[in-house]
Amino acid sequence: MADALPLRKEMTFEYGVPREVAPGVRRIVAENPSAFTFHGTNTYLVGSEDVAVIDPGPDDEAHIQAIVEAGAGSITKILLTHTHRDHCDGLAKLKAATAAKTLGFGTAPTPRGTTSSSPTNGEFVDHEFTPDLALRDGMKVVSNAWQLTAHHTPGHAPDHLCFTLEGTGILFSGDHVMGWNTSVIAPPEGNMGDYLRSLEKLLKLDAEQYLPGHGGAVHRPQRVAKAFLVHRKMREATILDCVKSGKSTVAEILEIVYRDVDDAVLRAAGLSVFAHLELLIERGLVRANGTPSLTSSFWSA
């Protein structure tokens, strides 16, 4: 699916064991491995006396217990990169155990994903989350020891936030940019135009290291983010060529574009093709019969 991309799959970790991945930043990996979550969801703890947790991860007793123990009574804030269940289902238990304040984007302005538009075929979005403090682009979360700045980066999810840890060169990149694989863009939860614009926005921040929601640290992140941009542009060109040559459905295009894809991610690949078609429609290069959907017919405009 992502050949020629500078992907890195190595990652040193042990489930439930905090690992210092940068000065003042610890990571605990949840044991929810899958084709979509890699080894599992990364939970980060920032600071030691006034601790911010970034993404509680799934509702897994052992994982939440590991976070609480690592926080040693000092967890005051829980930040969410986005409300996909593998990142936020553990929130209720962690909040109950710590009484920490929750911070995240909150209500997103666009329709969210449901089971019928899920890359995994299951319910993958928490539609209920209401943060104690709603974060918007550029807002800062401050303690005596650290300062995090929120960056709204829709594309993978409409409520997606990345966070820079000021003065360190670190950006917590959530599921927007990961080192092990490309992000899933599954409309309407995902939007390819937003995803590309958010990538450009991250490039301007000029971070030195990304700490993603799954997988190991992304070093030289500018190179990786640029490679993802080029990859999507090439894919878009291929899909437009397919439509021009008379391939009129997502299924037909999928056969050309994702020839060797595993069954586990085939549905996500189809959604990704559709996400590209939506963007081509937005640009006036492709048309669909009726409201564009996974089962529409498409032709060159």
Structure tokens at 282: 């937005």
- Counted residue by residue, the chain has a size of 301
Q: Least separation, in Å, of the C-beta of 185 and Zn ion? A: 10
Q: Output 114 or 245, the one with its CB closest to Zn ion.
A: 114
Check residue 84 for interaction with Zn ion (CB under 5 A).
yes
Query: Which residue carries 């820079």 as its tokens?
Result: 164
The C-alpha atoms of residue 199 and residue 163 are separated, in whole angstroms, by 14
Q: Output 84 or 247, the one with its CB closest to Zn ion.
A: 84
Query: Which residue carries 């990786």 as its tokens?
Result: 224
Bridge pairing between strands 101-104 and 133-134: parallel
Check residue 159 for interaction with Zn ion (CB under 5 A).
no
Identify which range of 26-34, 83-91, 132-140, 287-295 contacts Zn ion by CB under 5 A.
83-91
Cα of first residue to Cα of last residue in the chain, in angstroms, is 27
Which stretch of DSSP H or E encloses residue 44? strand 42-46
Q: Least separation, in Å, of the C-beta of 60 and Zn ion? A: 17
Judged by CB under 5 A, the number of residues near Zn ion is 2
Closest CA relative to residue 24, chosen from 44, 6, 48, 2? 48
Check residue 175 for interaction with Zn ion (CB under 5 A).
yes
Q: Least separation, in Å, of the C-beta of 157 and Zn ion? A: 6
Bridge pairing between strands 286-288 and 298-300: antiparallel
Q: Output 84 or 276, the one with its CB closest to Zn ion.
A: 84
Q: Least separation, in Å, of the C-beta of 128 and Zn ion? A: 16
Q: Least separation, in Å, of the C-beta of 40 and Zn ion? A: 13
Q: Which residues of this chain interact with Zn ion, rule CB under 5 A?
A: 84, 175
